[in-house]
Amino acid sequence: MGALCKKCRERAQIKLPRHNASFCQKHFKEYFFKQVEKAIKKEKMISPGERVLIAVSGGKDSLVLWDVLRELGYRADGLYVNLGIGDYSDRSEETCIRFASSRSANLYTISLPAFTGGAGIREISRKVRRKACAACGMIKRYLFNRFSWEMGYGVAATGHNLDDEAATLLGNLIGWKEDYLSRQAPVMPSNHPRMVRKVKPLFRVTEKETAACAVMSGIGYIYEECPLARGARSTVYKNTLNYLEQHSPGAKQQLFYNFLQKGRPGFLQKREDVQLQSCSRCGQPTATETCAVCQMLEKIGAPPLSLSEGGAVKQKAGEALAP
């Protein structure tokens, strides 16, 4: 006989060995929503009534996050950044637009090539001699923060889940990157007037669970991985943790939760606080005189980025977007 739902004893749709539980569809969604709500409340991620901007990639995690937050009653809008990675970016953008339309949700889209004279991540990383993922991560973080701040959002959320966080942690531990370890947290408070708080409300749920939630909620998402990220080391860490989890259910969450509770405070104490200043070109927070993104744009001969020019920001679906 198949497993039964822990709550209602109907036939279970999903097994969660780390919680020693199985759930039917209804009770799995209830479990999932509770985990997200618990993350938000316990970590004080979003205040009641506060507007939150969700960075959506078209993948399952960020679309599920957006959907769940809206269902939970949060005022959540979406932001998609088209990174100019050929058809992959266009397909991801279409996926986000389709989702936003289906929910009458507010989605902004930004196009990186519109700011760089047509260059996408591939071309930029080649010109600045950095790995694509490193350049991409830097540009995405910059745009999330700058856009959220310019549009008056106090908090921005990403779809990072437990698998993402545990894999990043494992990598940082192997390299003993004390600075990164001190920064890895579900909430990063603002430490500059132009910096918005960053939150990761999915840090208590796994990739498998968000995939199940996406299917159960009828969310169409893009399955493809970014073509530039193939062979990324994070995949090796994720596979390693999945192997461990298979043999020792709960290992992944134990690693990450124990780190947050017992490990991170030590790294935080050791951290030297760098006083952030405002970039001399764009005003965004930076530890150097000119921020890394402005330096990159300078290297590729692009002008300083202005979100209000060139029709680079578009607005899709939903009602009025004024803050």
Question: What gap in Å lies between CA 173 and CA 226, rounded to an integer?
Answer: 25
How many positions of this chain bind ligand AMP (CB under 6 A)? 14
Check: CB of residue 61 under 8 Å from CB of residue 207. Answer: yes
**Cβ closest to Zn ion, residue 27 vs residue 103:** 27
**In Å, what is the CA distance from 176 to each residue of 168, 286, 320?**
12, 24, 47
Distance of closest approach, residue 238 Cβ to ligand FES, in angstroms: 16
Binding mask 66-85 for ligand AMP (x = CB under 6 A): -------------xxx-x--
The residue within the footprint of ligand FES, chosen from 39, 226, 279, 292 (CB under 6 A), is 226
DSSP 319: S
Helix (H) or strand (E) holding 22: strand 21-23
Handedness of CA 104, 110, 114, 119 (dihedral sign): negative
Residue ranges binding Zn ion (CB under 5 A) = 5, 7-8, 24, 27, 279, 281-282, 284, 291, 294
Distance of closest approach, residue 275 Cβ to ligand FES, in angstroms: 30
Strands (E), 101-217: 107-111, 155-157, 187-188, 197-199
121 lines the binding site for ligand FES (CB under 6 A): yes
134 lines the binding site for ligand FES (CB under 6 A): no
Question: What gap in Å lies between CA 108 and CA 112, rounded to an integer?
Answer: 13
**Cβ closest to ligand AMP, residue 79 vs residue 293:** 79
228 touches, from ligand FES, ligand AMP, Zn ion, none (C-beta below 5 to 8 Å by class): ligand FES
Three-class DSSP category at 5: coil
Structure tokens at 28: 């799995």
132 lines the binding site for ligand FES (CB under 6 A): yes
Largest CA distance in the chain: 66
The residue within the footprint of ligand FES, chosen from 3, 8, 174, 229 (CB under 6 A), is 229
Distance of closest approach, residue 55 Cβ to ligand FES, in angstroms: 12
The residue within the footprint of ligand AMP, chosen from 13, 35, 62, 125 (CB under 6 A), is 62
**Cβ closest to ligand AMP, residue 158 vs residue 206:** 158
Number of Cβ atoms within 10 Å of the Cβ of 300: 14
| Binding range to ligand AMP, per CB under 6 A, among 14-22, 36-44, 57-65, 117-125 | 57-65
282 touches, from ligand FES, Zn ion, ligand AMP, none (C-beta below 5 to 8 Å by class): Zn ion
Question: What gap in Å lies between CA 82 and CA 311, rounded to an integer?
Answer: 13
How many positions of this chain bind ligand FES (CB under 6 A)? 9
3-state SS string over 227-285?
HHHCCCHHHHHHHHHHHHHHHCCCHHHHHHHHHHHHHHHHHHHHCCCCCCEECCCCCCE
| Binding range to ligand FES, per CB under 6 A, among 68-76, 143-151, 180-188, 223-231 | 223-231
106 lines the binding site for ligand AMP (CB under 6 A): no
| Binding range to ligand AMP, per CB under 6 A, among 119-127, 155-163, 166-174, 247-255 | 155-163
DSSP 92-109: HHHHHHHHHHHHT--EEE
Three-class DSSP category at 135: helix
Q: Site residues (CB under 6 A) for ligand AMP? A: 55-57, 61-62, 79-81, 83, 140, 158-160, 164
Q: Site residues (CB under 6 A) for ligand FES? A: 83, 85, 121, 132-133, 136, 226, 228-229
